[in-house]
Amino acid sequence: MTASELLAAALRDLRIRAMLSQAELARRIGTSQAQISRAETGTDFVSRGMLDRWVEACKDKSVAADVNFVRSISFALRPALPGPRRLSNR
């Protein structure tokens, strides 16, 4: 399992343990349900901002260990994750 696949699975597990539907999580973090689905299957890039909002939306005493796990994965991946994309003037 790659680091990206591990992150996708951890994000899905975090959402489920927080007892949120994909639609409810999407509403809480300001994105679409389709984007949540793509993130949970690893078929789409998860930005740093989305990752932080996802973790915050799922924060709860019952999932504190999962939040810490996802944060540790995200910190490990951060050097590999591209920052905001900048458009070239060319």
The reported pLDDT for the residue numbered 15 is 92
The reported pLDDT for the residue numbered 76 is 63
- Domain spans of the chain, in order of start: 3-77
pLDDT tens profile 58-83: 886 556 566 666 667 666 665 554 44
pLDDT tens profile 11-30: 999 999 889 999 999 999 99
The reported pLDDT for the residue numbered 55 is 87
What's the predicted TM-score (pTM) here? 0.69
Average pLDDT over residues 31-59: 90
* Fold topology of 3-77: 434 Repressor (Amino-terminal Domain) (1.10.260)
Backbone angles phi, psi at 84, to 5 degrees: -60, 140
The reported pLDDT for the residue numbered 5 is 86
